[in-house]
Amino acid sequence: MAAPTHTVTEMLAEWSDSGDREALDKLIPIVCEELRRQAARYLQRERPGHTLQTTALVHEAYVRLIDQAGVRWQNRAHFFGIAAEMMRRILVDHARKRRATKRGGDALKLTLNEALNASGERNLDLIAVDEALTKLAAVDQQQAWVVELRFFGGLNVEETAEVLSISARTVKRDWSVAKAWIRRELRAA
């Protein structure tokens, strides 16, 4: 079972503030388990036979997280929000390499949950989702972060509000508007 949020937040602060190796050593088993769950959620949406395994995705994301120099981790939600973004980027890079290898062949598919898909289940191209999110960020960065943290990071409304320092009501509004915007973009693509 994961440690309480305040404990993870305290360990993150000790590690990022003073480089406390002992705090990092205590933190690793806790965050690795949570990262595994996060990676498993991502990979459940992937096509059958996907070549990237949960452990490889966790290791790649973990290495990128640990290499973050000078980051002041606000809290557990901030850390796992950034982890979600890194995992998404790793999967998009993997999809692009696969697409390039196949010279435009089958794109990596991702089933976007019903939160972004009001009309039922539909397979979507992960690269198209990433492109839609990038376009949304150009229009409204906050809404893009809400999608990143809620959908890809698995954070709830309150955790998302905490990471972004906005109200839960604003998160709900941005989430609703962003879902509609992304649906429209994906239909147009």
Which strand (E) or helix (H) includes residue 109? strand 109-111
Chain centroid to CA 80: 8
* Cα-based distances in Å from 127 to 19, 34, 52: 36, 25, 16
Q: Quick one: pLDDT band at residue 139, thresholds 50, 70, 90? A: very high
41: number of CA atoms within 13 Å, CB side?
Answer: 17
pLDDT of residue 176 exceeding 90, the answer is yes
pLDDT of residue 4 exceeding 80, the answer is no
Instruction: Choose the most confident range, by mean pLDDT, from 94-103, 159-168, 171-180.
Output: 171-180
Q: Quick one: pLDDT band at residue 135, thresholds 50, 70, 90? A: very high
Q: What is the mean pLDDT of residues 56-80?
A: 79
Q: Quick one: pLDDT band at residue 1, thresholds 50, 70, 90? A: very low
Q: For residues 126 and 189, is the Cβ–Cβ distance under 8 A?
A: no
* Cα-based distances in Å from 170 to 30, 39, 152, 167: 30, 27, 19, 5
pLDDT (0 to 100) of residue 46: 66
pLDDT (0 to 100) of residue 178: 93
The 10s digit of each residue's pLDDT in 83-106 is 888 888 888 888 778 776 654 445
